[in-house]
Amino acid sequence: MKVAFDTDMDKPIILILADGMPAGGTERQIVELLKGLRSHNDILTAFGVLIKNGEREEEALRYADIVLPIKQNKSLDVTLAFSLIGLVKKYGVSLIHTFGSISDFSGIIAGKLTGLPVINGSIRNARPILNTRDRISKLCMRFADRVVANSQAGLRAYRCDDWQSSCVIYNGVDPARFRVENDKSRSQQSICMVGNFTRKKDQNSLIKALPLIHRKFPELYLILVGRGPNLQKCRNLVSDLQLSRYVSFVTDCNQPENIIGTCSAGILLSPGGEGISNVLIEYMAMKLPAVATDLGGNREVVEHGKTGLLIPNHEPRNISEAVCQILSSPEKSSDMGDHGRKVVVQKFGLERMIKEYLDLYRGLLVQNR
């Protein structure tokens, strides 16, 4: 456990509290936030995670100044709220920032009973129908000092876009992490989709579209990056369609930049509606034209016809036509990639995200004096 009480008692401590740290987009942003805040000397960060041993937990622990010894008895442990009260008092926490429904509930109880400001950061999707955990989070949002979404679409989905307490802070990436050594070295015969094999992503439709794409690009190769419960179903579909020669699965990769860099297009099929997808930003940072579902916050990232193409649904023909349009126009695709990189630097840079969170924290801390 890392603690810096003796010399830093005068510095406010921001608690980042998460339900878990699997290898997802929200968790990557939590790591980037902790890492970015570490370079600012006027605050300290504390980190607490409920469900332990997620793939990104070790990274988060590396950048937090203080690690809270949170003990959770079960996945829906409401008693956590009361143990959290003792922890925030013991460690001198100044502000609570939550990610996840149980963290939201525990954080809002602890914040109200200790007089600490609470930021709810759980709007990371734009689902047309909220699930049970989403509804728990929305209930907690009504009592939070600030509600931060990562997309305008997310605020609309949760119907809090007109709340005075709500705002949007877009996801941030460090453009320096994404280097394209030579655009011309890319294969015009390779595309990728990065995303875990869960119901939130639709790799199946992309696999079904591949035979249609092969009519124009018979040697096109598809790389699917991720892990999850639907992986075997996708493998079976590839085998049934006799596409094993043309599809590879990468299931052990948390840093997919090198894979993205070898491809000529990046695909994201998300039937439930994303907030702001990290992978779309990463495609664009690598100067890759993107093909994405026209749902949720995807249109806040992808400018149709300028940085990629948005498709109305996951019909294989629509997917095929979009991919073939990109592959058929190398010069236009290169222009899309260049423009996408500029959008990432200007709109989705990590420094911008960190600054906006710092401004939010400092404003609330001043109000709470």
Give me the pLDDT at residue 3, please: 46
Distances (CA, A) of 49 to 13, 30, 36, 90: 16, 11, 19, 17
- Determine the pLDDT at residue 182: 57
Per-residue pLDDT, 75? 60
281-314 pLDDT, tens digit each: 999 999 999 999 999 999 999 999 999 999 999 9
Report the DSSP beta bridge partners of residue 66: 46
Class of the 5-172+349-367 domain? alpha beta
Domain 175-347 belongs to what architecture? 3-Layer(aba) Sandwich (3.40)
Give residue 77's pLDDT: 64
Q: Beta-carbon neighbour count of residue 297 at 10 Å? A: 29
Q: What is the rounded average pLDDT for all residues in the chain?
A: 92
How many Cα neighbours within 13 Å face the side chain of 9?
Answer: 3
Q: Cβ distance 170 to 348 under 8 Å? A: yes
Tens digit of pLDDT per residue, the chain (369 long)? 454 444 455 899 999 999 999 988 899 999 999 999 998 989 999 999 998 888 899 999 999 999 999 886 566 666 788 889 999 999 999 999 999 999 999 999 999 999 999 999 999 999 989 999 999 999 999 999 999 999 999 999 999 999 999 999 999 999 888 887 655 455 568 999 999 999 999 999 999 999 999 999 999 999 999 999 999 999 999 999 999 999 999 998 878 888 999 999 999 999 988 899 999 999 999 999 999 999 999 999 999 999 999 999 999 999 999 999 999 999 999 999 999 999 999 999 999 999 999 999 999 999 988
Predicted local confidence at residue 220, as pLDDT: 96
Q: Give 14's contacts (C-beta < 8 A, 6+ positions apart).
A: 37, 43, 44, 45, 46, 93, 94, 95, 97, 361
Q: Find, among 114, 120, 112, 107, the residue nearest to 165 by Cα.
A: 120
Residue ranges of the chain assigned to CATH 3.40.50.2000: 5-172+349-367, 175-347
Helix (H), strand (E) at residue 194: strand 190-194
Pairwise CA distance, residues 217 & 178, whole Å: 28
Please tell me the distance from the alpha carbon of residue 164 to that of residue 170, in angstroms, as a whole number. 18
pLDDT of the residue at 73: 57
| pTM summary value | 0.90
